[in-house]
Amino acid sequence: DTEVTQTPKHLVMGMTNKKSLKCEQHMGHRAMYWYKQKAKKPPELMFVYSYEKLSINESVPSRFSPECPNSSLLNLHLHALQPEDSALYLCASSQEVWRAQETQYFGPGTRLLVL
């Protein structure tokens, strides 16, 4: 399996809901990432996990809570989101974090709408 998969494809949630996004890869990659992409904008990094530990948090609000239960799985828990959090959430993985010219492999994204 050489792909990053993300579920669900689409998600609609209210501002009081709690939901989770899921990302999975079976390429043996040890680094996983969450990005947020607003319409007509480039992806913006949110979190980086290296060997299942959080290594970068780009000052993301606490209503977004990442979790890496094992080396293949990355979750993003959502709680009390705002309408401006509506976006495409992309997951990516790479073999390592620190290696030069490391390629990141992206999932198809989860399109989130917060009402």
CB of 62 to other proteins, least distance (A): 20
- Write the interaction track for other proteins spanning residues 60-99; mark x where CB under 8 A is met and - where it is not: ------------------------------x---x-xxxx
Which of 9, 39, 42, 70 forms a contact with other proteins (CB under 8 A)? 42
The answer to whether residue 7 forms part of the interface with other proteins (CB under 8 A) is no
Write out the binding residues for other proteins, residues 16-35 only, by CB under 8 A: 31, 33
Q: From the CB of 80, what's the least distance to other proteins, in Å?
A: 27
| Residues 24/36, Cβ–Cβ less than 8 Å | no
